[in-house]
Amino acid sequence: MPGTELGYLKEDIAEEIGYNCKVVLPATHDTGSAVVAVPVTDDDTEKSALYISSGTWSLMGTELSEADCSKESRQHNLTNEGGYQYRFRYLKNIMGLWMIQSVKKEIGGELGFGEICEAASRCDISSIVDCNDDRFLAPANMTEEVKSACRESGQKEPEGIAEVASVIYNSLAKCYADTKKEIEIITGKNYDSIHIIGGGANADYLNRLTAKATGKKVLAGPVEATAIGNLAVQMIADGVLDGLNDARKCILNSFPIKVYQ
């Protein structure tokens, strides 16, 4: 289990690095560690906010004290993954910034992700694609695949990196909104906010679109959530932090969190 103390470093390793230290298991999955770093400060897992671990993929969900293996969960492709302190990461895999990464490589030139995001925010195009469609998993050319999907559905075909990125960002926000509705219906809860953690927390335009599409307050950060959650579990095991709630309060007060209403 995360937080298990395995012992100490071998003598030869300790000698090589100049000191010995305890070895503690974190939540040994990148998303597992990242969710530890979601700065929700309510001890009651049933009241915790929604989160999106946003990077190449988007993992959107909440924490549950018991697994939900209902027919509705299966139909909506929601999974129960083990997390810290016997909690379940009840989440859905959503296509993430993989689409933007692909388009950047194809037609982005020297533009950085921040520049692409800013350029997309200035576009006036309302076309939407289904980001979870298998056609976007590994197409020969992501840009052309997005254009084709728009054309086939009778929508305006985007031109240039800014418009293509705008279509992707708006489509991701719609996926998040749809998933939010599914989780709220199945759990019977109305979540007040959505925490976006990981590298995608830097995508300002996507964060604004997500707040608008979901009707929820969005809190973006921390960015290096996996590393921070890993460290937090070790600090709890070492007695530096007094449990998960204390760790999350510490994270909330230690890293910049941007709020989108």
As annotated, the active-site residues are 30
CA distance 246 to 181: 30
CA-angle at 149, arms to 141 and 160, nearest 5°: 60
Cis status of the peptide bond prior to 158, with omega within 30 of 0: no
Torsion angle in degrees (nearest 10) through CA of 63, 64, 69, 74: -30
258-260 and 217-220 beta bridge pairing: antiparallel
CA distance 245 to 136: 38
Helices (H), the chain: 11-17, 30-36, 71-75, 98-107, 113-121, 142-152, 160-187, 204-214, 225-237, 243-254
How many helices (H) and strands (E) the chain has is answered by 10, 9
| Nearest alpha carbon to residue 33 among 261, 240, 236 | 236
CA distance 27 to 16: 27
